[in-house]
């Protein structure tokens, strides 16, 4: 038997973990996941957008418009920040962060302060918004490598069917 050739790349694997993590999000409109990887290609932090610990998913709003205090925006913790805060307790200097969405300005500050040196993202759909212009300005000035991922496969399917293992 010769070795498989259709295995996923490291980029696809880590972005896949980020996307899988996003599946835990309760946000009805946008589910974001992030995955932090060290220089030995080991996963050291994962997160998704959700409410802070101890704040009920059922008692806080998920609306994305209307009175600010009645929307999710002041309360939700972004995937990237959660991945940083959820890390296994190491110094993140030199690590990479995989994130489905280009990070906002607040997450970018946390990324820079944590020592992460590369951001790999799938979508930059908010590129024109001021928060993201500020994010890019900070990340570039801080010398963080920014890379839009070009996946070699369009999707990866997971099956929980025991017969598929
Ligand atoms: O980089 C990000 N990471 C992240 O976790 N989020 C979260 C916050 C919200 O729960 C959701 C964005 O919601 P919406 O697309 O409805 O504005 O995604 C949003 C961004 C981009 O702002
Ligand atoms: Zn953010």
Number of domains the chain is built from? 1
**Percentage of residues in the chain with pLDDT exceeding 90?**
99
Has residue 55 been placed in a domain? yes
Ligand 1 and 86: CB distance under 6 A: no
Ligand 1 site-directed mutation target among 35, 60, 78, most atoms within 8 Å of CB: 78
Tell me the CA–centroid distance for residue 96 and ligand 1, in Å: 20
Ligand 1 and 105: CB distance under 6 A: no
Q: In this predicted model, what pLDDT tens digit does every residue of 54-80 receive, in sequence order?
A: 999 999 999 999 999 999 999 999 999
Has residue 17 been placed in a domain? yes
Q: In this predicted model, what pLDDT tens digit does every residue of 98-134 receive, in sequence order?
A: 999 999 999 999 999 999 999 999 999 999 999 999 9
Has residue 51 been placed in a domain? yes
Residue located nearest, by CA, to atom 11 of ligand 1: 30
The residue with greater pLDDT, 165 or 109, is: 109
Residue 80's φ and ψ, nearest 5 degrees, are: -65, -45
- CATH classification at residue 42: 3.40.140.10
Has residue 3 been placed in a domain? no
What range does the domain containing 34 cover? Answer: 10-154
Has residue 56 been placed in a domain? yes
pLDDT at 164: 84
Helix 105-114 to helix 130-141 angle (10° resolution) is 20
ipTM above 0.90, yes or no: yes
Has residue 18 been placed in a domain? yes
Tell me how many degrees the CA angle 121-122-128 measures, rounded to the nearest 5. 85
Has residue 135 been placed in a domain? yes
Residue located nearest, by CA, to atom 19 of ligand 1: 78
pLDDT at 59: 96
pLDDT at 113: 98
Has residue 27 been placed in a domain? yes
Ligand 1 and 107: CB distance under 6 A: yes
């Amino acid at each position: 038997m010769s070795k498989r050739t259709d295995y996923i790349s490291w980029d696809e694997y880590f972005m896949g973990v980020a996307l899988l993590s996003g599946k835990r999000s309760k946000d009805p409109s946008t589910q974001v996941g992030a995955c932090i990887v060290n220089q030995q290609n080991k996963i050291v932090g994962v997160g998704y957008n959700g409410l802070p610990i101890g704040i009920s998913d059922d008692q806080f709003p998920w609306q994305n418009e209307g009175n600010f205090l009645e929307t999710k925006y002041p309360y939700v913790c972004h995937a990237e920040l959660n991945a940083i805060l959820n890390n296994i307790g190491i110094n993140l200097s030199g690590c990479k962060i995989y994130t489905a969405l280009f990070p906002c300005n607040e997450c970018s500050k946390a990324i820079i302060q944590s020592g992460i040196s590369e951001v790999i993202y799938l979508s930059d759909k908010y590129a024109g918004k001021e928060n993201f212009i500020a994010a890019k300005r900070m990340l570039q000035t801080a010398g963080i490598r920014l890379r839009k991922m070009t996946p070699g496969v369009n999707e990866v399917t997971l099956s929980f069917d025991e017969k598929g293992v």
